[in-house]
């Protein structure tokens, strides 16, 4: 599998320890700098309030199949968490799109390290997610979840 970054994520967070745990905990403003050869693909993004960003956990090395996630003190299976040290080190976040200027997207709610390689952008569309009640496993009672009300990525 070959993956080529399409841009760079610019944020106020210079190291991993400074980043928010999840985007809903962040009010930070960031810039998504899409490389010029992909800028035409940003057409029509302005009509969406939120975007899904796929990116590389470029500061993470290795992985463990049992991890202690940020919101718990027990070991959990890696794939039942959003822990950054993963076999393919691909991250996902949902951000609010504030505006677009040419090949730059200004976003709110960013939770990644400055300089992160951007792999892809997709529009966030709640109706494309599951509409039935969503279970959140071991996180039940640990976070305020609106997953009972809307579908999509949490």
- The answer to whether the beta carbons of residues 9 and 53 sit under 8 Å apart is yes
56-73: average pLDDT: 85
What CATH number does the domain located at 7-125 have? 2.40.30.70
> Over the stretch 8-21, which tens digit does the pLDDT of each residue have?
999 999 887 777 76
Distances (CA, A) of 47 to 5, 42, 79, 96: 24, 11, 33, 12
Give the residue carrying structure tokens 């959140």.
136
Q: Does residue 34 have a pLDDT over 70? A: yes
**In terms of Cα–Cα distance, which of 95, 17, 25 is closest to 54?**
95
pLDDT of amino acid 154? 35
Give the residue carrying structure tokens 């990116």.
55
Structure tokens at 34: 């899409």
Q: Does residue 145 have a pLDDT over 70? A: no
> Over the stretch 89-135, which tens digit does the pLDDT of each residue have?
899 999 999 999 999 999 999 989 999 999 999 999 988 888 788 88
Per-domain residue ranges of the chain? 7-125
Q: Does residue 43 have a pLDDT over 60? A: yes
Give the sign of the dihedral formed by CA 77, CA 121, CA 15, CA 28. negative
31-36: average pLDDT: 98
């Amino acid at each position: 599998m070959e993956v080529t970054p399409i841009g760079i994520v610019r944020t106020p967070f210079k190291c991993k320890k400074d980043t928010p745990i999840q985007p809903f905990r962040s009010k930070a403003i960031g810039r998504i700098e899409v490389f010029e050869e992909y800028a035409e693909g940003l057409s029509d993004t302005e009509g969406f309030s939120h975007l899904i960003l796929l990116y590389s956990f470029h500061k993470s090395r290795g992985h463990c199949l049992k991890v202690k996630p940020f919101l718990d003190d027990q070991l959990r299976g890696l794939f039942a968490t959003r822990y950054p040290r993963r076999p393919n080190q691909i991250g996902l976040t949902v951000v609010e799109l504030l505006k677009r200027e040419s090949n730059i997207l200004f976003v709110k709610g960013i939770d990644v390290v400055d300089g992160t390689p951007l792999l892809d952008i997709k529009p966030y569309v709640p109706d494309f997610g599951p509409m039935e009640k969503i279970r959140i496993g071991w996180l039940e009672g640990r976070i305020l979840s609106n997953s009972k009300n809307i579908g999509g990525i949490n």
